[in-house]
Structure 1
Amino acid sequence: MKNNILYTFILLSLVAASCRKELDDVNINPNATENAQPDYLLTAAIKNTADAYWGTTNNMNSSLLFVQQWAKVQYTEEDRFIYSNSSFTSLWSTLYSTSITGLNKVIEIGNTTNNPNYRGVALTLRSWSFLLLTDAYGDVPYSQAGKINEFITPAYDKQKDVYYGILEDLKTANSVLNPAGTAISGDIIYNGDIAKWKKFANSLRLRVALRIADREPAKAQQVLDKIKSEGGSYISANADIAQLIYQVSPQQNPVSAQFDTRDDYRISKTIVDKLFSLSDPRLPVYASKTQTATPEEYVGLPNGLTNSEASNFGFAKTSRPGAYFLTPQSPAVIFSYAELLFDRAEAAARGLTAENAADLYNQGIAASLKQFGISDALIANYTAQRAVQYDPSNYKKSIGEQKWLALFGQGLEAWAERRRLDYPELTASANTVLNGQIPVRFIYPGTEQSLNGQSYRNAVASQGTDLLTTRLWFDVK
């Protein structure tokens, strides 16, 4: 009897294995490679993440409005902070389902093919992806993210733990990246220049160290000391800028693509007024002249207008973004040399390094202006102004305002820095719906409540109510 049972079990097992084999054969796509190629995965991850970072939902329709670099001239609901729980799905879904999943595969391939440079580049990009997510939402899946075979409903890690994890990943990335090692393909940021990837990884470490500096100054100090002891270098020239340079349609810059078919946005009056007040030579780069001639030539649109108010200002008498940003090949900047210099200036001002904060601050301004082709003579005139000069008694104001100008177009990063430094001081329109407050986070996608409900509820219980006005851990007032 026992032998019959055993025989039946073996027979059923063989039949099941045969069925699985047949299903595997049936489900092979004859038009696709069965072995993932790291170069294709890397290119796709860079492109998809840059598009999400620079595109409509997470940039033009939200963070650029929050920092009052852009404003809406029609369909102004978002400029009045009217959002639903489906408004912020794009960043979450793109980075988790596409970017991080693909980069995890590149890391795996780098390990199995003994090419650590793929691993280091993918770790650097994955760290940037997680940084975008936690800066926007707060507590997010990190330690269990992208591991679909293990975690269908990943837990949310606390923001502090996400930042700490990112710092460890970036330290690992820097240690495995080897300019003399095996070459990589598919790198559409640095074209396989691993020395520049090491600079980018260290620059991100500095960015994260400052992100946590108000909460964890000792940890920030430790990170910078570690980079120094490693002999690490940062982005050191505009030629090192981490950016994706787009091509012509249909691979053009998302801003260019948006303005090909729509005309919803104008430059904010807030930033135009600031540029005018400083005689800033970036004004004709950041803004276009009005279509109908006006005495000012460049006219910013107030944020938070109703649809009828915006219509009264009109399309032709308000300024679009500058031609530089509307060009199909305009780059999606991820990390600029100017930002790096301002970060070093802040680290010095905080006493985390022995560098000269004022000198680095002035270098940061010069790097930003040179990034847009401004001449040395105009740079000298600009930095000589009293209103531009560094104020050591309020480094957050000096650096915060100039970094806000330098990060024009990089909505998510400008928004993170404005929340952290509390400058520039911005005022919400009376038409906005948050009682005079400006959003300080994205709300979680509504799909998380239905598909990952327990993890979502745990995060809300830990972090606070899932509202646009719930301050995140790094954002110390």
Structure 2
Amino acid sequence: MLKKIAYITLFALTLTSCSDTLDDINKNPNATETPLAPYLLTGSLKQGADLYWGDANNFNSSLLFVQHWAKIQYTEPDRYDVSNTSFTSLWNTGYATLITDLNTILNFPEAQANSNYKGIALTLRSWTFLLLTDAYGNIPYKEAGKKVTPAYDSQKDVYTGLLEDLKQAQSLLGTTNGAVTGDLVYKGDITKWKKLVNSLRLRIALRISDKEPELAKQAAIDATSDAAGVFTSNNDTFKFTYISSPQQNPASAWFETRDDFRISKTMVDKLTELSDPRLPVYAQLPSDASVGKYVGGGNGLSNSDANSQGFAKTSKPGTYFLTSTSPAVIVSYSETLFNLAEAAARGFISGDAEQLYKSAITASFNQFGVTDAAVISNYLNQASVQYDASNYAKSIGTQKWIAFYGQGLDAFTEWRRLDYPVLTAGPATVLDGKIPSRFFYPGTEQSLNGTSYQAAITAQGKDLLTTKLWFDAK
């Protein structure tokens, strides 16, 4: 019942009148006169999941860049034939909705939001900023929400600032710091929120590991030595579980009326090569029963070549991802184990990198319903899957890419950072054989925040899809 009420009241507005004499006439007796922390929290979780899992930032962009999905018609995004209007959703919703609403919670007096609400809001705001800087690079951070034309901060400063913000979030969260309602993810379980904070701190530590190794090492130590710990099972995974229409998973909503995506041939070929039992979860058999096997779509094809592959002869993404109640996984236990494996491989923390790597793959299998121990053992014992200590980036990068299936924004970031697997741009792509390295800034930044925008590209490089971001510049 709480979930239904939260959805219904998600966007309750405070009504104000044009003049004092019309106050009573204009008041809606059913409206909320002041924003309430539970409703703002519910709205932020739902809108954040939609933003992360929806078409603009996921399956119509980043999932194509990392070749998880491919387009079988309307192939312009898969050929990178896009403009600075293509990437406005992440920016506009991130700043105008998520960060604005989360700042509202942070600015509430204690009577309106206890410290647990504020710790959760700071955690979600940090995650939002992380998505923004991973995608665009330099972004407004310190002045965001404080000035009409905020300055952009360097990506390094954003990452280091977020580590401090998450440290503060951890200090705000406590099991005796008050009850939380409106939490559709963890149901007010503060111990899980505290694990998420540390898992995000570990994620950021690896984001900066190639550029600031000493700071990264300390951040990894801080995250893993904190008493709250990091994720320890799939039950800790940070995911938003959808319900029925009109609050269904956005991929499900898309496929109800459209048919322009297939699982990528790159992914199908890799899973087939490894006899990976996740293939029937990640893909559907073609509707033409005579095909009898999973067939991926080529990335970066012209519209005619993409169409000619055959709608009935190619595999759609798996039904696991396309049902109304499919969850939007945002931070998984599997990712955290991969991050622990890499942190150990880099010497940041103690631990058996190989065993953590195997545990990460196992956690991914379990996440997608593969639990047979013999099947998992056979998979892990393949020479092409076994951990290569001399090239941990290849082992971890390849398996992380597979495990991140469906999580386009983070798969895109980790692929850029680790440089594995090696991907090749499709034949009809328009970036001279290159795959994008970032999102364009929205065109409105040039017109509405021009001075800050110009300073940002002067510092970072031209506003191109191929400009390498700070964390990615080798």
Class of the TM-score when normalised by the shorter of the 2 chains: over 0.9
Matched with 1:11 is none
Q: Deviations over 1:424-448 (max 9, x none)?
A: 1000012100000000000000111
Mapped partners of 1:385, 1:265: distance in 2: 31
Describe how 1:259-338 pairs up with structure 2 within 5 A: 259-338=255-334
Q: Deviations over 1:356-393 (max 9, x none)?
A: 00000000000000111112221111111111110000
TM-score (norm 1): 0.93
Structure 2: state its 5+ residue gaps: 1-16
Whether the aligned pair in 2 keeps the contact of 1:266 and 1:300 (CA below 8 Å) is yes
- The amino acid that maps onto 2:100 is T
Alpha-carbon offset, residue 397 of structure 1: 0.2
What is the identity percentage for the equivalent residue pairs of Structure 1 and Structure 2? 59
Mapped partners of 1:165, 1:71: distance in 2: 36
Mapped partners of 1:23, 1:300: distance in 2: 65
Alpha-carbon offset, residue 106 of structure 1: 1.3
Alpha-carbon offset, residue 32 of structure 1: 2.5
Mapped partners of 1:114, 1:282: distance in 2: 42
RMSD of equivalent CA atoms: 1.6
Matched with 1:402 is 399
Q: Is residue 343 from structure 1 mapped to residue 339 from structure 2 by the alignment? A: yes
Secondary structure of 1:266's partner? strand
The alignment covers a number of residue pairs equal to 456
Whether the aligned pair in 2 keeps the contact of 1:137 and 1:441 (CA below 8 Å) is yes
Residues 272, 175 of structure 1: alpha-carbon distance in 2 compared, 3 angstrom cutoff: same
Mapped partners of 1:114, 1:229: distance in 2: 29
Q: Is residue 192 from structure 1 mapped to residue 191 from structure 2 by the alignment? A: no
Whether the aligned pair in 1 keeps the contact of 2:119 and 2:173 (CA below 8 Å) is yes
Whether the aligned pair in 2 keeps the contact of 1:111 and 1:119 (CA below 8 Å) is no
Residues 67, 114 of structure 1: alpha-carbon distance in 2 compared, 3 angstrom cutoff: closer
Q: Is residue 221 from structure 1 mapped to residue 217 from structure 2 by the alignment? A: yes
- The amino acid that maps onto 1:357 is A
Alpha-carbon offset, residue 146 of structure 1: 2.1
Mapped partners of 1:115, 1:24: distance in 2: 35
Matched with 1:182 is 178
Q: Is residue 454 from structure 1 mapped to residue 451 from structure 2 by the alignment? A: yes
Alpha-carbon offset, residue 115 of structure 1: 0.9
Mapped partners of 1:34, 1:277: distance in 2: 59
Whether the aligned pair in 2 keeps the contact of 1:110 and 1:116 (CA below 8 Å) is no
Whether the aligned pair in 1 keeps the contact of 2:358 and 2:380 (CA below 8 Å) is yes
- The amino acid that maps onto 2:53 is W
Matched with 2:362 is 366
Alpha-carbon offset, residue 228 of structure 1: 4.4
Whether the aligned pair in 2 keeps the contact of 1:110 and 1:117 (CA below 8 Å) is no
Whether the aligned pair in 2 keeps the contact of 1:110 and 1:118 (CA below 8 Å) is no
Matched with 1:427 is 424
Mapped partners of 1:316, 1:218: distance in 2: 53
Whether the aligned pair in 1 keeps the contact of 2:198 and 2:224 (CA below 8 Å) is no
Q: Which of these residues, 229, 238, 244, is aligned with residue 242 of structure 1?
A: 238
Structure whose CA Rg is larger? 1
Mapped partners of 2:36, 2:427: distance in 1: 53
Mapped partners of 1:430, 1:310: distance in 2: 11
Alpha-carbon offset, residue 112 of structure 1: 5.0
Mapped partners of 1:230, 1:416: distance in 2: 26
TM-score (norm 2): 0.94
Alpha-carbon offset, residue 464 of structure 1: 0.6
Structure 1: state its 5+ residue gaps: 1-18
Whether the aligned pair in 1 keeps the contact of 2:268 and 2:296 (CA below 8 Å) is yes
Mapped partners of 1:345, 1:432: distance in 2: 35
Alpha-carbon offset, residue 300 of structure 1: 0.3
Mapped partners of 1:351, 1:333: distance in 2: 29
Mapped partners of 1:305, 1:334: distance in 2: 29
